[in-house]
């Protein structure tokens, strides 16, 4: 570990010299300033971990130095050195964010303890920040929200597959996030600075799709005025996202199979082979294996596409993702519509959790967007949601009216849902506030949305 740097700001040169020799002996790197201005400059240049600052100094006193340092964005820990007459200012400095103060003449032992404490605190803060970063990383993947085990394992596969060139087949009902996963695969790959090209296979007729994918030579079919590059060529070096792959005709299936086998193709009406370096991600909301069994989708193509499969479960099977997703969309649309919103009003999460979400995340996103637009207060309430998902009115929500009369399970439910509403859906923060485990919250959420029988013990 590198040595901590300490800046001594004091106008008395003998005091500085004394401290310097002690601190150097202790193994610290030492900087000296003879007044507040000089100290501020050194702070900017060297970012010392700790500042030992005299209170009374020319050009800028200790408190003013502390404030200016904070304004500059310095995170140095301040220990003030004060004479009896200036204890008041030292206390003021503490209020302004100094770590501690020592009274002159300085008790060196105490000073060294303060310095160690300040450094230890910094280490802990940095560790906690690192931990928070890692927690965020665990829950988020390029804007994809989901702390359910189901989505976490999707993230795991995406992270592992992304850096490779393997073809990925993304499966899942409409609105489950297939396109988002396709984009994440690209963004997390070494191809991220090359094009990400999407083709909606269902939107085009067979002829148009062929020419869209492979391009065409001049006059190759009616309407083909000039020569045109296809999407395969456009995606060269990058990723080609074939959306709704389950819809392609047998002819295009054959052509696609050939590209996957040989990485080359001919433009429509052309004979010269075109070579491309393209990573393919395909998606469908159909049960592709059933299509294969029914003879509508080529088995060999299916296996070529399905090198790595990512299956996104429907939202109703991972309802514990609802609080986090709702919070994510509230933030997104509050920003988009310029509204100040705190989050969900009491009882709203209950309505969101009880709904079946046939349209999956897209339906939730649309419901929240609509609610943000309609909302008249600082919190989204059930009344702002589409009528289909308002559900039965929840009982009165304040704790006063629950006790006595409610069962412990009911009180616990109110406590968990209200805390989640206040924590913007973060199960981690809610667990911390309630001093229970995240697993317990996740389990209860499953229970409240009817996924497990109440009273079953958490796994
Ligand atoms: N886990 C998630 N986190 C954040 N946003 C999500 C998540 N899943 C889906 N969304 C959002 O929901 C909407 C629908 O997602 P997407 O378009 O990826 O679904 P899809 O599976 O491709 O649907 P379809 O089959 O209808 O094309 C998008 O706006 C997307 O950003
Ligand atoms: Mg899609």
The pLDDT score that the predictor gives to residue 396 is 45
18, burial (CB in 10 Å: exposed 0-12, middle 13-18, buried 19+)? middle
Please state, in angstroms and rounded to a whole number, the distance separating the CA atoms of residues 291 and 284.
11
Number of C-alpha atoms within 13 angstroms, CB side, residue 25?
8
| Mean pLDDT of the 272-289 span | 94
Residue that has been written with the tokens 């994918």 in this structure:
213
- State CA 346 to chain mean position distance: 25
The pLDDT score that the predictor gives to residue 343 is 87
- Looking at 294-406, list the stretches that DSSP marks H as alpha helix, in order from N- to C-terminal side: 299-305, 322-336, 348-354, 360-374, 399-402
CA of 309 to the centre of ligand 2 (A): 16
Contact 31, 62 (CB under 8 A): no
- In the structure encoding, which two tokens stand for residue 410, read together? 């009911």
The pLDDT score that the predictor gives to residue 428 is 83
User: Is residue 344 helix, strand or coil?
Assistant: strand
* β-pair partners for 216: 228, 268
Of 42-46, 67-71, 238-242, 440-444, highest mean pLDDT = 238-242
Contact 221, 207 (CB under 8 A): yes
User: Is residue 276 helix, strand or coil?
Assistant: coil
CB atoms within 10 A of CB 89: 18
Return mean pLDDT, the chain: 86
Please state, in angstroms and rounded to a whole number, the distance separating the CA atoms of residues 443 and 456.
10
| DSSP, residue by residue, 125-151 | HHHHHHHHHHHHHHHEETTEE--SHHH
- In the structure encoding, which two tokens stand for residue 208, read together? 């148009």
**Is the pLDDT assigned to residue 1 strictly greater than 80?**
no
Of 63-72, 81-90, 218-227, 304-313, highest mean pLDDT = 304-313
Q: Whose CA is nearest to atom 5 of ligand 1?
A: 144
**Is the pLDDT assigned to residue 410 strictly greater than 70?**
yes
Angle of helix 438-448 relative to helix 427-434, nearest 10 degrees, comes to: 110
Least confident of 94-103, 254-263, 337-346: 94-103
**Is the pLDDT assigned to residue 139 strictly greater than 50?**
no
Please state, in angstroms and rounded to a whole number, the distance separating the CA atoms of residues 82 and 192.
56
CATH superfamily of the 5-133 domain: Response regulator (3.40.50.2300)
pLDDT, tens only, 93-133? 888 788 888 888 888 888 898 899 888 888 887 777 666 55
CA of 172 to the centre of ligand 1 (A): 10
The pLDDT score that the predictor gives to residue 136 is 47
CA of 74 to the centre of ligand 2 (A): 46
Please state, in angstroms and rounded to a whole number, the distance separating the CA atoms of residues 319 and 45.
51
- State CA 329 to chain mean position distance: 13
Domains 5-133 and 319-448 share a fold: no
Please state, in angstroms and rounded to a whole number, the distance separating the CA atoms of residues 15 and 9.
10
The pLDDT score that the predictor gives to residue 238 is 96
Q: How many helices (H) and strands (E) does the chain have?
A: 19, 18
Number of residues written out for the chain: 459
Q: Is the whole-model pTM more than 0.85?
A: no
CATH of region 319-448: 1.10.8.60
The pLDDT score that the predictor gives to residue 34 is 92
**Which ligand is nearest the CA of 318, by number?**
1
* Backbone phi, psi, residue 131, to 5°: -65, -45
> Residue 221 — pLDDT band, cuts 50, 70, 90?
low
The pLDDT score that the predictor gives to residue 224 is 60
> Residue 49 — pLDDT band, cuts 50, 70, 90?
very high
- Strands 239-243 and 196-200, bridge-based pairing: parallel
CA of 180 to the centre of ligand 1 (A): 6
* β-pair partners for 172: 312
Q: Where are the domains of the chain?
A: 5-133, 144-313, 319-448
CATH of region 144-313: 3.40.50.300
Of 176, 241, 317, 319, which is best to mutate to test ligand 1, by the most ligand atoms within 8 angstroms of its C-beta? 176
Of 329, 361, 364, which is best to mutate to test ligand 1, by the most ligand atoms within 8 angstroms of its C-beta? 361
Radius of gyration (C-alpha) of the chain in whole angstroms: 31
């Amino acid at each position: 570990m590198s040595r901590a740097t300490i800046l001594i700001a004091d106008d008395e040169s003998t005091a500085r010299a004394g401290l310097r020799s002690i601190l150097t002996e202790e193994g610290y790197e030492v900087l000296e300033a003879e007044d507040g201005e000089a100290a501020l400059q050194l702070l900017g240049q060297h970012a010392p971990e700790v500042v030992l600052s005299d209170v009374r100094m020319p050009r800028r006193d200790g408190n003013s130095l502390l404030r200016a340092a904070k304004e500059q964005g310095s995170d140095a820990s301040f220990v003030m050195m004060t004479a009896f007459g200036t204890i008041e200012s030292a206390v003021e400095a503490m209020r302004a964010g100094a770590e501690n103060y020592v009274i002159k003449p300085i008790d060196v032992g105490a000073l060294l303890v303060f310095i160690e404490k300040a450094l230890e605190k910094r280490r802990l803060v940095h560790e906690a920040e690192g931990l928070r970063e890692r927690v965020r990383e665990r829950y988020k993947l390029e804007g994809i929200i989901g702390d359910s085990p189901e989505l976490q394992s999707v993230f795991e596969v995406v992270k592992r597959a992304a850096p490779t060139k393997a073809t990925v087949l993304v499966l899942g009902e409409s609105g489950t996030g297939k396109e988002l996963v396709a984009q994440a695969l690209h963004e997390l790959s070494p191809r991220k600075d090359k094009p990400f090209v999407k083709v909606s296979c269902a939107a085009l007729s067979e002829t148009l799709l062929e020419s869209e994918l492979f391009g065409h030579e001049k006059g190759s079919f009616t309407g083909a005025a000039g020569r045109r590059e296809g999407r395969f060529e456009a995606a060269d070096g990058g990723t080609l996202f074939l959306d709704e792959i389950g819809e392609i005709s047998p002819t295009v299936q054959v052509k696609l199979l050939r590209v996957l086998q040989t990485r080359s193709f001919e433009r429509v009406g052309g004979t010269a082979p075109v070579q491309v370096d393209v990573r393919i991600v395909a998606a469908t909301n159909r049960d592709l294996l059933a299509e294969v069994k029914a003879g509508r989708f080529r088995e060999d193509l299916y296996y070529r596409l399905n090198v790595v499969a990512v299956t996104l479960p429907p939202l109703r099977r991972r309802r514990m993702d609802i609080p986090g997703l709702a919070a994510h969309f509230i933030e997104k649309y509050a920003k988009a519509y310029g509204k100040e919103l705190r989050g969900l009003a009491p009882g709203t999460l209950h309505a969101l959790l009880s709904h079946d979400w046939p349209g999956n995340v897209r339906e939730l996103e649309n419901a929240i967007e609509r609610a943000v637009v309609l909302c008249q207060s600082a919190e989204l309430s059930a009344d702002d949601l589409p009528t289909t998902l308002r559900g039965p009115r929840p009982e009165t929500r304040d704790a006063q009216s629950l006790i006595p009369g409610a069962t412990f399970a009911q009180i616990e439910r109110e406590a968990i849902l209200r805390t989640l509403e206040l924590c913007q859906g973060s199960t981690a923060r809610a667990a911390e506030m309630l001093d229970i485990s995240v697993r317990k919250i996740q389990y209860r959420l499953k229970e409240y949305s009817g996924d497990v029988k109440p009273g079953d013990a958490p796994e």
